[in-house]
Structure 1
């Protein structure tokens, strides 16, 4: 794969767990020091800004050359950054530009306004309570619409993903803007409106303060007249101290209950809560556990990925420099896993779990 190279300047950062349940991704190098060159995919990087009566938001856009040279409709993947991350760094850590070049889609990275929140950390609990017309949700949606006006984006193949604080925000976007997003990917995230999500819970839902059924009801209410089946991919590492105290299984149950409510208007068990299959694979010496969930018709609806030995980092990502713990090259490239899963969903054909899995 042809790439260009650039040099980066380190940004100092510390892991911060705030009282609102927000956290940061560390960049362990000393500020101002030179870092090794990081290879970047060849493609067009654009920067833009959207605004409404609630504020402004900037974004980074990666357009592969095959997309820029064609009128064919392509997918759009929206990636929401973790705490204290800049979008250029997210592009490296997530390796999403590289994947966009390989798979032929457009990658959009909205940047939260540091003047609007604490150091630019997504406040997903406030965004959930504000709803569709809240500042951050409306501006993220506006950035998507601006990209759609400029490029040939397939409206049925727009998905949203996020890491850490961005994962909490991705859940909000899947709930408040289901008319835009047709799949939600989260890496170590929270339920919808999961205020103070690292405090107390039932034994099997460690790290939640909101019952996932109630969260699901709130998701459906937020969806309003745009409610529809919402595929999901949830992942976390067994050595992630934040995922261990933030209810990942609760997030699974929230999306299962949401889809149960959406399919016939009733919470009646139409969507099974138990995984249809549970499989294991080993990647780079890491055990990777995959639970597959199906809808009322037995079609694949969602996945939960548990990566053994992974900390609070982008699984399958690329560190910014030697001591950067915010990305771990070992294990599955979760952005690729999620994109391929959602693309299989987008064709409208019922996908079933592998037989004998």
Structure 2
């Protein structure tokens, strides 16, 4: 099935649990540099959790023709604007999945590691109306760099926009004037690749749109790690930040015990706390300490399916998305593809 004109020339894979009900949530998962969708899924445990909790997954995947290290181009101006490049391709993937599987537009979430985390901030900034929540793991603030040298400087904690400038960049990234996505930020205290000051920059950027102060509403300990929370006046959690003591660059995992998910690997670090599971709880996809029995093995990366581009890449303009359309009654591949393409055109995501 096609997912659109794909101006960013990305690949797209997805995972749909068996017997997924209509109106299920969708989580978009962005891998880090040197990784791919299959490997990140296997190690992070996202498809395992999707089986437990009944939600669908979309995995954008970078190609070496775009970036030799398989990093998403979170710092390239042509790839981070609302109607351009990689950001537009990811938006098209989301629309295609929602239409093909009848997913809930009000429960779409996005997460990523490192360059994938930085690209998650791009999507949250460029399309805040699309997402109910996001999670950035060892990532960077939106608009913090626009060249390769600047990207490396920001990763090392050198220079960067002021707090006021970061908030301006976020506000000007889209015409959005509604509620903003909830944000979860994860950072290793010993990360020398994307240093901890980047997590602080993300907080500064999002504290403005959420109207919360610099000081957290409360600080607590979760699975032995520090968690800070910023709430609105009603007590609803809007922003959280986990600081993982002594952890380097990677995604925090807990692969053992009843709550274990995934497998440790390069940049996938078993430190006794599952960012995958805790992020899902923060988004409201799962209640604390509740999981479906009998789902203890991580799903194989080979279980991921592939969306393909429908046309040659070209510039498109993005307009507000339509309501989901019903699939072809007989459910043929050709019928589903036509429904997806019609929905993308109606949304201004494809011409």
TM normalised by structure 2 equals 0.72
| 1:131-187, Cα deviation, whole Å (9 max, x unpaired) | 101110100000001101111211111011000000000000001011211111000
> Contact conserved, 1:161 with 1:185, CA < 8 A, in 2?
yes
* 1:132 paired to 2:85: no
Check 1:225–1:240 CA distance in 2 against 1; reply closer, same or farther (3 A cut): closer
Check 1:53–1:307 CA distance in 2 against 1; reply closer, same or farther (3 A cut): closer
* 1:199 paired to 2:156: no
Classify the secondary structure of the residue corresponding to 1:155. Answer: coil
* 1:148 paired to 2:98: yes
Match of 1:19 in 2: none
> Contact conserved, 2:230 with 2:240, CA < 8 A, in 1?
yes
Match of 1:268 in 2: none
After TM superposition, the structure 1 = structure 2 runs for residues 322-341 of structure 1, keeping only pairs within 5 Å, are: 324-341=265-282
Distance 2:130 2:56 in 1: 15
CA RMSD of aligned residues (A): 2.7
Classify the secondary structure of the residue corresponding to 1:90. Answer: helix
Match of 1:57 in 2: 10
1:186 to 117, 133, 136: 136
Distance 2:71 2:285 in 1: 32
> Contact conserved, 2:8 with 2:87, CA < 8 A, in 1?
no
TM normalised by structure 1 equals 0.71
After TM superposition, the structure 1 = structure 2 runs for residues 273-284 of structure 1, keeping only pairs within 5 Å, are: 273-281=214-222, 283=223
Match of 2:175 in 1: 224
Greater fraction of residues in strand: 1
Unaligned runs of 5+ in 1: 1-47, 261-270, 346-357
Structure number with higher relative contact order (C-alpha < 8 Å, ≥ 6 residues apart): 2
Match of 1:309 in 2: 246
2:236 to 278, 285, 299: 299
> Contact conserved, 1:207 with 1:245, CA < 8 A, in 2?
no
Distance 1:316 1:116 in 2: 29
Match of 1:39 in 2: none
Distance 1:295 1:50 in 2: 37
Count of residues in Structure 1 that have an aligned counterpart in Structure 2: 277
Distance 1:246 1:50 in 2: 36
Classify the secondary structure of the residue corresponding to 2:69. Answer: helix
Question: Structure 1 stretches (4+) deviating beyond 4 angstroms?
Answer: 127-130, 205-208, 317-322
> Contact conserved, 1:175 with 1:219, CA < 8 A, in 2?
yes
2:61 to 111, 125, 128: 111
Classify the secondary structure of the residue corresponding to 2:174. Answer: helix
1:158 to 108, 113, 134: 108
Check 1:123–1:317 CA distance in 2 against 1; reply closer, same or farther (3 A cut): farther
> Contact conserved, 1:174 with 1:230, CA < 8 A, in 2?
yes
Distance 1:128 1:259 in 2: 27
| 1:229-249, Cα deviation, whole Å (9 max, x unpaired) | 221000011222124365211
Distance 2:53 2:122 in 1: 26
> Contact conserved, 1:191 with 1:250, CA < 8 A, in 2?
yes
Match of 2:335 in 1: none
| 1:163-215, Cα deviation, whole Å (9 max, x unpaired) | 000000000000101121111100001011111255379xxx95451113211
| 1:306-337, Cα deviation, whole Å (9 max, x unpaired) | 11132212211669988x33212232211221
Distance 2:99 2:237 in 1: 32
